[in-house]
Amino acid sequence: AEVAPERLHKLGRLSDADLAAVLDGAAAFAAPSRSEGFGLPVLEAMAAAVPVVCSDAPALVELVAGAAIVVPRQDPVALADALAQVLQDRALATDLALRGQQRSSAFSWPEAANRLWDLHAG
């Protein structure tokens, strides 16, 4: 399946307010990274309840932990198929959005502080 080019919008750097507006209106978030150190944009999309399709870069697989559709790196057909699936299946999109939002809650500042405290106190 193909996603019509006019339905895709490649954006440059955004202010926080513009990013929030874009995520609020997004039907899906694609992260076809070849390699990734962490995946903050993916985490931001999940926190905003946007369904995520990402590559199988190890850091992204670990980050999404089953809360996204994962496709092979450098496979544009698989990426397009997964995006089309999300756009065409509202139940799937809703499920991914909810799972992503739930997963993103594990990355809050209080949770990070608790983990760091446990590391040093343990």
- Taking residues 105-122, report their average pLDDT: 88
- Tokens for 32, please give them: 């076809």
The pLDDT confidence band at residue 3, using thresholds 50, 70 and 90, is: low
Per-residue pLDDT reduced to its tens digit, 32-54: 999 999 999 999 999 999 999 99
Angle at 87 between CA 21 and CA 79, to 5 degrees: 100
Report DSSP state, residue 111. H
CA distance 21 to 18: 5
- Tokens for 85, please give them: 């699936």
Output the pTM of the full model: 0.85
- Tokens for 38, please give them: 């962490």
The position carrying tokens 């809650």 is 105
The position carrying tokens 């139940």 is 91
Those residues whose C-beta lies under 8 Å from the C-beta of residue 24, and which sit 6 or more positions away, are 48
